[in-house]
Amino acid sequence: MPELPETETIARDLDGALRGAVLRSVEVLRADVLRPRAASTALSGLRGTTITKVWRRAKSIVIDLTPSHALVVTPRFTGALLLDGIADEAYTCLRFALADGRLLRYHDVRRLGTVAVLDPVGFAAWESTLGPEPLDPDLSAERFSGIIRGSRRAVKTILMDQRRLAGVGNIYANEALWRAGIRPSARGASVTRARTSALLDSLRGVLRESIALRGTTFRDFRDAYGERGGFAAKLQAYGRAGEACLRCGSTLRSTHKLEGRQTVWCAQCQK
């Protein structure tokens, strides 16, 4: 599932390419990705509007349009926003034709992603469900410590809770906890303030490094031009179960007991 670095990559690509572009038409091929599903009429009303900005919030790409609406695209497992190029039309759900002749597609093999058309009230309601961004300079070490230490749930679960912290998913929760030397199943309330500060530094480090390499691709993630991300080769925990820990040499363990997602950790150096 695309997480913060992947959706940030897409948003940056599209912002540079689409600012000022005018929507000539919108074609709905698979209405089941729309939220609500009756949003086809709202999409039709976007014809002639101008894209003013493309940015990321949590794991979603936000396309701001004149005068005040926004498209919120949440790719989930196999969704992709592709600009021009060749897409498999069997999996194209939406086509956005631009006045300059270019074409933006929402492509989704499993159709688990969503596209919502939100007015300012709807957008505010959606955003109110999300926690702070981990890369936001206003997220202090003290506030982050309160997020982690204020819960008795597993620290990995807290990191992935979008209501508490927006944008972090399974890949980067695994990586940040390995870097910080914290056991994923440790209760948030048991982690010291000093260790939560180290965790925030580790989380920000891995997110920035992944953004610089345009995200992590195992199978499905593609950027706006259909290219793969390059961070998979840099992963130190996720996807390496059964291999040697790069820090101490012990065999990395794996479980699916936390939220049903794969957790990889080193029992020797993550305490």
- Is 261 labeled as catalytic in the residue annotation? yes
Got the DSSP string for the chain?
---HHHHHHHHHHHHHHHTT-BEEEEEES-GGGEESTTTHHHHHTTTT-BEEEEEEETTEEEEEESSS-EEEEE-TTTEEEEESS---GGGEEEEEEETTS-EEEEEESS---EEEEE-HHHHHHHHTT----TT-TTS-HHHHHHHHHT--SBHHHHHH-TTTSSS--HHHHHHHHHHHT--TTSBGGGS-HHHHHHHHHHHHHHHHHHHHTT---SSS---TTSPPPSGGGG-SSTT-TTSBPTTT-PBPEEE-TTTTS-EEE-TTT--
Buried b (16+ CB within 10 A) or exposed e, 217-255: beebbbbbeeebbebbeebbbbbbeeeebeeeeeebebe
Residue 132: is the preceding peptide bond cis (ω within 30°)?
no
Catalytic residue (one of 24, 30, 193, 261):
261
| pLDDT for residue 124 | 97
The pLDDT confidence band at residue 92, using thresholds 50, 70 and 90, is: very high
Catalytic residue (one of 56, 57, 59, 222):
59
pLDDT of 120 > 80? The answer is yes
Report the share of the chain in percent with pLDDT over 70: 99
Question: Quick one: average pLDDT of 179-205?
Answer: 98
The pLDDT confidence band at residue 259, using thresholds 50, 70 and 90, is: confident
- Is 253 labeled as catalytic in the residue annotation? no
**Mean pLDDT taken over the chain:** 95
CATH of 4-127, picked from 2.40.50.100, 2.160.10.10, 3.20.190.10, 1.10.510.10, is 3.20.190.10
| pLDDT for residue 207 | 98
Catalytic residue (one of 2, 5, 134, 184):
2
Q: Where in the chain is the domain with CATH 1.10.8.50?
A: 141-234
Buried b (16+ CB within 10 A) or exposed e, 36-56: eeebbebbeebeebebbebbb
Question: Quick one: average pLDDT of 34-46?
Answer: 86
pLDDT of 32 > 90? The answer is yes
The pLDDT confidence band at residue 40, using thresholds 50, 70 and 90, is: confident
CATH of 141-234, picked from 1.20.1740.10, 1.10.1200.10, 1.10.8.50, 3.90.79.10, is 1.10.8.50
Q: Where in the chain is the domain with CATH 3.20.190.10?
A: 4-127
Catalytic residue (one of 3, 6, 8, 133):
3
pLDDT of 213 > 80? The answer is yes
The residue type found at 95 is R
